[in-house]
Amino acid sequence: MILLEQYEQQYAVLIAEITSEIAQLKQLKGVERRDLSSKIDGSLAEAHELLEQMTLEIRDIDVTLRPSFQNKVSCAQVELKRLQNDYRSAKEAQQKQHMTVLELGGGDGDYYDDVSIGNDQRQRLLENSERIERTGNRLADGYRVALETEALGAHVLNDLNHQREVLQGARSRLRETNADLGRASRTLNSMMLRALREKAVLYVVGVCFVVAVGVSLYLTFSSSAPTA
């Protein structure tokens, strides 16, 4: 997050410098204009590299903050494209002016000096090429990391699906166990009720037997007793 804000500040300063340099370019001629053009080329390449770095950093920030920074990067890309068009227009206008002067027989050969590339400018072009190559390598590394992250996410999802299947199987077995326990509980209750009924029947039979024996003894003794 802090690095992204630093990139944003650097980009704002760089864009301000490029805007000022493009305005100055229209007033210069000869070697000064060529040197300033080389500087603007390098600044534009650096601005493009900063935008790419910001795009990569946005992937690592919180999801809720991404839309805001993505909008900023989009606006910055539009601004950079506008500056590139202004720079190209300024160069074309200057070249047309030189061509007009040459056609009229004037001029001091500055246009041809601008067309020729000196050693210093060639060195700057090489540095820009190296910078672009480094940026491409960083983009490739970022893409590789994104692929690895995607593969890791797919692996995690597969593990979660497997764990969900295991949990569903355990839940099914738990329901079956609960059903078996319910059936066993009902069977046990039925057996207990049957045992209680049988015990009650035995008690009733015992009482009846005792009563019958008592009545029988009473009748026996009462019939054998002498009458008064």
Task: Give the pLDDT confidence of 146-201 residue by residue, as tens digits.
Answer: 778 888 888 888 888 889 999 998 888 999 998 889 898 899 999 999 999 999 99
Average pLDDT over residues 213-223: 84
Contact predicate 51/77, CB 8 Å: yes
* Residue 208 binned pLDDT confidence (cut-offs 50, 70, 90): very high
Task: Give the pLDDT confidence of 125-135 residue by residue, as tens digits.
Answer: 777 777 777 87
For residue 16, give both structure tokens: 């301000």
Per DSSP, helices labelled H in 104-118 are 110-115
- The residue extents of the domains of the chain are 2-116
The residue with greater pLDDT, 227 or 23, is 23
Phi, psi of 108 (to 5 degrees): -120, 15
* Residue 25 binned pLDDT confidence (cut-offs 50, 70, 90): confident
What span, in angstroms and rounded, lies between the C-alpha atoms of 30 and 13?
A: 27
* Weakest-pLDDT range from 4-13, 88-97, 212-221: 88-97
* Weakest-pLDDT range from 54-58, 89-93, 120-124, 224-228: 224-228
Round the average pLDDT of the chain to a whole number and report it. Answer: 79
Task: Give the pLDDT confidence of 54-90 residue by residue, as tens digits.
Answer: 888 888 777 777 788 788 888 888 888 888 888 888 8
The second-level CATH assignment, the architecture, of 2-116 is: Up-down Bundle (1.20)
Contact predicate 29/110, CB 8 Å: yes
Contact predicate 142/60, CB 8 Å: no
Q: The whole model's pTM is what?
A: 0.42
pLDDT at 205: 92
